[in-house]
Amino acid sequence: MRIEFKDVSVSYDELHALAGFNLTVGSGESVAIIGPSGCGKSTMLRLAAGLTAPSSGVVLADGEPITHPRQEVALILQDYGLLPWKSVLANAELGLRIRRMSRKLARERAMAALQQVGLAPFARMRPKELSGGMQQRLALARSIALESQVLLMDEPLSALDALLREDLQDLLLETWLERHHTQILVTHSIEEAVFLGQRIFVMAPRPGRVVAQIDNPRVGEAGYRSSQEFFDRCTQVRDALHEGGAR
């Protein structure tokens, strides 16, 4: 599914959270968005998720205006959005049950998704009994179970320590390589953006806008994270962030 932002502005009274924002994410593409706090990254995801309406301009999914949340589009937030009183399995099933899938089929699909993220042995536990990294895996399992065509992620790994974070980045990459869904990842981490984004968009605030686009075609290639090119790309993104901030 292709997501397009066409000349989109979002204003809250005097504040221009986004102004003249243009971005097209092709079907099956993985892009990363990076920028300082307040530059409109979350607003941009909420537009794509159908949770916020633009003040002007239009946001399209496969050419159709996004006017409400849709089944094909999953948003993963930093707090995972898990229901603490339900089991891991019930949380993984949740989206399917909301969509009125039969209990049996929902259970099968949810178990398969839990298997994929390595959580099948914990299906009967409550989210609270899981570590932060496992809770994040569960949030991912939920969107895998839904077979979402678009995965929107707002700082999904920021609560995790460095090593765990790399594991989860690997899982996100594997999942994307396998499913080739459309993916928009908002992150504060330069390395994460370079590891996961085929294109990296650098944003700046007041008004929120894109100030640089960096192509990163080697995403997904074996050994990329430890290559010279990876480090060079990180430097390029860092420079673009500094330049954007200075403007």
Q: In the complex, which residues of this chain contact ligand ADP (CB under 6 A)? A: 12, 15, 17, 37-43, 208
Closer CB to ligand ADP, 18 or 89, in the complex: 18
Q: How far is the CB of 168 from ligand ADP (least distance, A)?
A: 20
Q: In what order do the strands lie in the sheet with 3-12?
A: 15-25, 3-12, 56-61, 64-65
Closer CB to ligand ADP, 26 or 38, in the complex: 38
Q: Is 114 exposed, middle or buried (0-12, 13-18, 19+ CB in 10 A)?
A: buried
Q: How far is the CB of 134 from ligand ADP (least distance, A)?
A: 25
Structure tokens at 111: 């178990």
Q: How far is the CB of 223 from ligand ADP (least distance, A)?
A: 32
Closer CB to ligand ADP, 55 or 87, in the complex: 55
Q: How far is the CB of 9 from ligand ADP (least distance, A)?
A: 12
Q: Is 79 exposed, middle or buried (0-12, 13-18, 19+ CB in 10 A)?
A: exposed
Closer CB to ligand ADP, 145 or 210, in the complex: 210
Please give the biggest Cα pair distance in the chain.
56
Give the phi and the psi of residue 33 in degrees, each rounded to 5: -120, 130
